[in-house]
Amino acid sequence: MNLTNLILNTDSYKFSHFLQYPPGTRGISAYIETRGHPDQADVLFFGLQMFLKETLGKPVTRADVDEAEAIVLAHGLPFNRAGWMRIVEHFGGYLPLEIQALPEGTLLRRGVPMVQVVNTDPDSFWLTSYIETRVLRAVWYPSSVASNARKIKQVIRPILEKTCDDPEGVLPFRLHDFGARGVGALEQAGIGGAAHLVNFMGTDTVTGVLYARRYYGAEMAGFSIPASEHSTMTAWGVEREVDAYSNMIDRFAGGGMFAVVSDSYDINYAVSEIWGEQLREKVRASGGTVVIRPRQRRSDRDAGACGQAARLSLRLCAERQGLQGARQVRPGHPGRWHFQCRYQPDPRSAGSFRFFGRKYRLRHGRRPAAEGQP
């Protein structure tokens, strides 16, 4: 059985449509649009080229027709054998269709057509709507991923503009794709992963990089860095947690940025004592940039882990230059920690800083408190 048989790559009700058009029908035009009519353009068109190269570039064969006929009839529906054999015999198995589309990457309003399909053989008028299912699938999912990623990028941008020295250089790496393990198939990982790369350059979805290279000619569309997982850290044991982190510095600091998951046991201790004290000078001397990564909030007690990281970052900045001016703990800057935090003087108190968009204050002799808290 050929699971990629194009004839069977449709919805069941399509098999009977060739008998439903009025006599004398010679041409059918169909188009794709997104529903709704907002004032602003918010749909990013992407994905059609993968379908054109992978699916329509392969001809239908007589074996495909024979197989499809047996399955469709057993399925309880009529089969257009004469129509499909005409395509095989007169067109070499290639579909007599013309597909017109806006350039991929176009940003458009809902309700604006992005793809139009027209039959080029009058006797194959039924074919235009027959491939609706496959064409919609080719456009719907990747355009949705690309559009959602663009919206997330719009949310991140103003925060970086307030907290980062180089927002345009940093922004392409602020949403990292780790979605391959959460989708239903390898193809979905490739398509969705490529759609993510329309807006961002950070990814661990290798299949997305391969799809971008194969179908769009992108030699290398996405990038990643060396990073640990819990198994590689806990293999050292809690007694050698410092050695586990130190090994990461030895192995990867020379290459620039690397990430170390640090919540295997106690994220607060790892940030304040191991990274902040025991390994501080080694990081500074290494010339690399370490990303100290917690995995997730597992309890209310751990809810302040991100704030703890921000407080450490602010303290390190203060140690280097006191409470004067503004200083970004910049990704890629040798020998510094990467927390996306910026210190700014505050005339109402000793200072303030932002961490993931939330403003904090620092008062003499007191712990930092979030805005709105005493």
DSSP state of 165: S
CATH no., domain 6-140: 3.20.140.10
Where b means 16+ CB within 10 Å and e means fewer, 145-161 reads: bbbebbeebeebeebbe
* Helices 186-196 and 132-163: angle between axes, nearest 10 degrees: 40
Q: Beta partners for 291? A: 259
Cα–Cα distance between 318 and 36 in angstroms, integer? Answer: 51
State pLDDT tens for residues 80-107. Answer: 999 999 999 999 999 999 999 999 999 9
CA dihedral sign, ordered 366, 372, 373, 374: positive
Strands 289-293 and 351-355, by their bridges, are unpaired
How many CA within 13 A on the CB side of residue 359?
10
Distinct helix (H) and strand (E) counts, the chain? 13, 12
Whether 107 and 153 have beta carbons less than 8 Å apart is answered as no
State pLDDT tens for residues 15-41. Answer: 999 999 999 999 999 999 998 877 889
Domain coordinates of the chain in residue numbers? 6-140, 144-216, 230-370
| Claim: this prediction has a pTM higher than 0.85 | no
Nearest in space to 204 (alpha carbons), one of 226, 230, 187: 226
CA dihedral sign, ordered 59, 62, 67, 73: positive
Tokens matching residue 11:
């919805």
The letter for the amino acid at 40 is Q
- pLDDT at residue 267 in the model: 84
Whether 203 and 209 have beta carbons less than 8 Å apart is answered as yes
Q: What is the mean pLDDT of each run of 10 residues along the chain (374 residues)?
A: 93 97 96 86 95 93 98 98 98 97 95 95 97 95 96 95 91 94 95 97 97 96 96 96 96 92 89 89 91 68 55 52 35 39 33 35 37 43
- pLDDT at residue 49 in the model: 95
State pLDDT tens for residues 169-188. Answer: 999 999 999 999 999 999 99
- Please state, rounded to an integer, the average pLDDT across all residues of the chain: 83
